[in-house]
Structure 1
């Protein structure tokens, strides 16, 4: 009986062992089949061997100035790949010690770590067991992000990562895998890769990182937000010390060195580079859609389209970083000063005190008002909500400041912010050299260079005088500045800026210098409105212009870019140029993909006309409405230009230039109903001119820009000079006769009031005759 019992036990044990063997064998078979099915692509295709051998990270496109300065980047994930040789050994050692101690021993998957995870984490549910992913597996995860919805997805993804890791190890050396990993790993704040992380947190290159700095960055890989040294320095220090202790454990760091470093506080040199920082932010925002369009229309050698956010393109623009920097600095200084004046000017009241619709319109335009209205609240209920005060960050020229304001208070604050736009062009070829679309791109994305169409005021007048010269009207034919009632225009009686009755007669030079409205209108009568409009359009104004006499006084609304382009025609001798923004596009390796051809300039006005206009517009700066550039700001450069001030001081303009650079500046509030109440403060000479002057004075300090800043207008030939050589102004004795009631004498006597001159056509005929002799 005992024998039978033993045999029965042996039989049962044998059966049990066979059963377990079958289970294990079946489990292993199923696991192998499962792995083979995954490898075969039944649960989603694995990356091909060729794609793994040609791994390319998403690389930000870089935008450069014409003088080789990096202006900024376009990216979805900001990264700037670097080579293994350019990564500090401390980073490599910290990474291996912390993330994968047997990295140099395994072939992509570490069996010991995997077994530990299975036993401690899966079976014993002990999360202290850590993760089993090697650096190669983490690289696979970074390059091919997983989409996990169920526990089954986790199993599939983990096996995929292991298979990809094996492939990576067979395709790349250990150093290459470390390089790929450190170029793809996220460090938070939407930055990827060790190079940008080193720049962001320590303002240095990855190869320059010291031990404690490398440990901080490697420590962030566990949880890049939790251990962000900017946000949580104490937690970052604790994690840094854990990393360094791992380095000690695996003989990458001595105990003595660790002891000397672990007590050091975490010190960073934060250097944030973002799409909203750097030079020419408005310009970069302007060219972005143009580049996206180019990328959509052009294919890479593999047949796919270019991607400006992933392909690491190099964009070379026409911007000159030195001119751009001078433009931004001058705008920042002068607009801060002007805003202070504006706030003091309106300190006891606000524009909507007398015109309530200004604030009411702003409230109804606001997104908060519209959202509350969609929720069914009536106007009174919405206003009650908008009047509730709460801490709010608002823009000031001293930086963002937190104030306790209601939504209506905040709207009122921003209504009173003065804006500005500036663009600088090379008049010889149309290349854009500087572009500042507003006072702060991070807060105000609206571009006042391109999008804003504002009345141009007296900056339009030079087109009138150019048209008159083209038609052969004598610039020394003095025109009376007295008012005229235009019966055919509903008794329109244009006056001058000071509204005084002017008893003078002006030459073209004098009328432009003093910006005399009444003379300009009378000149339009002689030339014809259509002639003036056609001249302006030939010179580069694309905006539709009203064919009415008041267009001569700048009642048309025209973008700053167009006005600046048109003034290039004066500066370059009568040729219209088209704005050029880009020079070349190269791929990541420096191969040229696209070169921009500069359009040929087209003749718009005669060279002699342009030369005479330059002579007259220099007088505006030397002795006219822009003369504060000389006597107040001490600008010594040879420049010409024209101020502009619109109705009720809503817009201040100045367009100034020399033969090498044309600069247009506009200043005003976004709502034209908000403005200075006096012309002394609201004129173009007060608001816009100082920005131009400050820019040129800053440029004067840069020796590399001397060829631009020291450019001079050619001296008028004696023949051309004789055409404009006359008094700028003289008394209108005919007007005095009317005022004093003196009857006109005979024709001979009338001539006593003014010297009889040769006609303009006769003068020019004499000039050409002399040249041909």
Structure 2
């Protein structure tokens, strides 16, 4: 800026200052010598501004309609498909009681202590408010809220606010005036006493009476009423359970207030204050209902739906019609409890649970080191040895740790494959002890229950149940120089085994060879398409033996796809939502499934899985439980018998169970009981036995039989013709007692020696899947002497080291 412009700006500013100076001087003179008019205007300005601020705040406080809604609050009610009440979604653990059903001593103690002019004011006690303000300004902070103001704060904490500010107090007062305009005094008292919190998830005077004195609100005497009224000044500070001395002093203050305001005689007071504080404490737990884990998951879904559609789950009286069948839910719960209790006895014996898990000393030391008590002991300066010794000497600590680690867990899920509707859901043995939902939240290795995805992918590629692989040692190179060697309980026979028998008897070596031919990527894609959509699947050779952790909900959903002719339908929990008057707000009609597996391949897979229960690892479904219907299924067992699985398919219902422990390092320590066929299968078998006998599902129902399409017929004939044209016909010796091959057919072998396996592993999945099949000698397939499933995934070892190490990743413990 040049010098001329600078001079102009300076001159302009000086001129403006010269104009302002006289005005400022005049105002200062008036302030030194104020007039009566000026003083009056100044004094009136503050109330006017406050009134204006109050008017501005009114739209930001709860409206009259909201207050009326709170007065008639109705929680959402959840019903089963057959009309049974499953749950009520209340915002808290509260039971509403009428004022006439509350002891009059409670009302006397409340009014004498909290608001002795309750019947005289209209929401705001001006004298008490002014007195509280004077004490607060002098440094002795006091509360001046009336019962109505406290009710406003309790009913609308978000709208009124929680911060100790002038704005919050003004909102509270405005809301109190509105409440007084809508409620009568008895209604205000009733609403207040039914909404005020008393710790331990007890809301309202009825739950407080049960929690602290084990009686109903109408049975409370003067001392008990004074104790509960005294807690309102500070629940935690005057908690009669953990601070009995403070609660006793506060109780006596309440009694003195009752004397002061004429609600208790002086003689009674002199006698009552000498009595001790007697508390009969017991936490009040909401009844879990017949399907608590299902209700727990449904609550999350319903809150999200209500938020999107502008409804309140806790006050709008929604009626939710679910897919649960109460009869099947009861049967499932009984089956889980029966088998869980039976296995718990085996676990207690195996672990020496009553003796502090002495049989698992090394592992128990590991468990001790993982506890907060151990870390606290180390932080206090103790060595590892001293910390372990101290905790080991604590009998109650060791017993509690042992019980928690060795408690058998089990879950169950049943889905109608025709429409995806969930019919029964049991997330644990006991919701009170185990609220963690193992159906949807726990991810565990599925073991051999994952194998149908491998065989389904193979049948989709054109394989048939009669194709064979040689039962021989298998070595598959892995990244990092390791070699995976899947194993079975029985030694390799060197003979061909059909795919049908391999799945029926759950042979790992055959499945591993088939997995190499199909390709892990295709198996993973098929599993996702069929229902395993939330868990991560590692695309590695061992995936086919179930090494990637999944949920029971995903697995049962995928098996429902098999039972639904290869069409996946997302599991459904709700069929309809209504308002309190029965008007339909939302109707969830059945959806058409998306085809995940071709009908022909699916029918082939289903037929092969019938043999699992007819003569394979799941045959006790027939022999022990007497189930004669058209069913198919698969057992599953993981490394070291950490997880037991069984899933059974019926045309109208698909159900599965998992059994294990929260910590996968804990097992039943039994090669027999650890098998899915002996741990999880009885849960499913018991359930189906009950359901079929009661005719809840039809014993005569059959899976629909699909006639093969023209292309499928042509392909089968072409394969047979090619096999007859090019197959050699040696004359092998047939072992006595073995099953003969009914006709010559093409067969597949994959002799995975180290060199050929390396080549297959390095080739793309598509090239592996399209490799021409070698034709083996026509030997009879091997049939297992007893249907026993192997629980191992095999081992992976470095090529240069003879020491095997586990290949399968550790399963997710599913621990809450």
Give the C-alpha shift of residue 332 in structure 1. 2.5
Report the TM-score when normalising by structure 1.
Answer: 0.64
Runs (5+) with no aligned partner, structure 1: 1-31, 123-130, 251-264, 301-305, 393-402, 724-744, 762-773
User: Which string of whole-angstrom CA distances, capped at 9 and with x for unpartnered residues, describes residues 77-105 of structure 1?
Assistant: 4446x6xxx84744497776776699998
How does 1:579-594 map onto structure 2 within 5 Å? 579-583=571-575
331-340 vs 86-95, greater mean Cα deviation: 86-95
Match of 2:449 in 1: 459
**Structure 1 residue 331, shift from structure 2 partner:** 2.0
| 1:278 paired residue number | 289
Q: Secondary structure at the match of 1:618?
A: helix
- Cα distance 1:345–1:185, how it changes in 2: closer, same or farther (>3 A)? closer
2:640 pairs with 1:648? yes
Q: Determine if the alignment matches structure 1 residue 674 to structure 2 residue 666.
A: yes
Which residue, 339, 344, 348 being the options, matches 1:339?
344
Q: What's 2:809 paired with?
A: none
SS state at 1:434 partner: strand
Structure 1 residue aligned with 2:703? 714
Distance 1:77 1:627 in 2: 48
Tell me which residue corresponds to 2:63. 51
Cα deviation for residue 686 of structure 1 reads: 1.2
For 1:592 and 1:474, the matched residues in 2 are separated by: 50
CA distance in structure 1 between the aligned counterparts of 2:696 and 2:580, rounded to whole angstroms: 33
Of 511, 516, 532, which aligns to 2:502? 511
Indicate if the aligned counterparts of 1:327 and 1:422 stay in contact, CA closer than 8 A. yes
Change (3 A) 1:686 1:202: farther
Identify which of 550, 567, 577 aligns with 1:558.
550
1:684 is displaced (CA, Å) by 0.2
Does the 8 Å CA contact 2:79/2:319 hold for their aligned counterparts?
no
Question: How many Å apart are 1:54 and its aligned residue?
Answer: 3.5
CA separation in 1, counterparts of 2:435 and 2:177? 48
Q: Which residues in structure 2 correspond to 1:744-759 (within 5 Å)?
A: 747=729, 749-750=731-732, 754-755=740-741, 757=743
Aligned residues: 645
Contact 2:450-2:544 within 8 A present in 1 as well: yes
Counterparts of 1:456-535 in structure 2, within 5 Å, are 456-477=446-467, 479=468, 482-486=471-475, 494-497=486-489, 499-502=490-493, 506-524=497-515, 527=518, 529-535=520-526
TM-score, scaled relative to structure 2: 0.62
User: Aligned with 1:667: secondary structure?
Assistant: strand
Counterpart position of 1:437: 427
SS in 1 for 2:560: helix
Within 5 A, what are the aligned runs for 1:600-639? 600-635=592-627, 638-639=630-631
CA displacement, residues 353-384 of structure 1 (integer Å, 9 cap, x when unaligned):
7894x4565445444455666x5x66x53663
- Structure 2: segments with no counterpart, 5+ residues: 1-43, 136-142, 264-277, 713-726, 748-816
1:644–1:140 CA distance, 2 compared to 1 (3 A): closer
Query: Pick from 514, 528, 536: which aligns with 1:537?
Result: 528
1:184 alignment partner in structure 2: 195
Give me the whole-angstrom Cα distance separating, in 2, the residues matched to 1:583 and 1:541: 23
Match of 1:7 in 2: none
> In the aligned structure 1, how far is the partner of 2:393 from the partner of 2:222?
38
Give me the whole-angstrom Cα distance separating, in 1, the residues matched to 2:182 and 2:328.
49
Secondary structure of 1:708's counterpart equals: coil
Cα gap change, 1:634 to 1:648, in 2 (>3 Å) = same
Tell me by how many angstroms 1:666 deviates: 1.7
Taking the aligned partners of 1:74 and 1:391, their CA distance within structure 2 comes to 45
Q: How far apart in 2 are the matches of 1:471 and 1:147?
A: 64
Verify the 8 A CA contact 2:77 2:88 in the aligned structure 1.
Answer: yes
| CA distance 1:517–1:307, change in 2 (3 Å) | same
Maintained 8 Å contact 1:422/1:436: yes
| Cα distance, 1:187–1:201 mapped onto 2, change above 3 Å | same
Map 1:69-468 to 2 at 5 A: 69-72=84-87, 77-79=92-94, 87=98, 89-91=100-102, 108=122, 139-140=151-152, 142-143=154-155, 167-173=178-184, 176-177=187-188, 180-181=191-192, 183-186=194-197, 189-193=200-204, 212=219, 220=228, 223=231, 272-273=285-286, 277-287=288-298, 290-291=301-302, 293-294=304-305, 298=308, 300=310, 316-347=321-352, 356=362, 358-359=363-364, 361-369=366-374, 381=383, 384-385=386-387, 387-389=389-391, 404-405=396-397, 410-444=400-434, 446-468=436-458
Maintained 8 Å contact 2:61/2:174: no
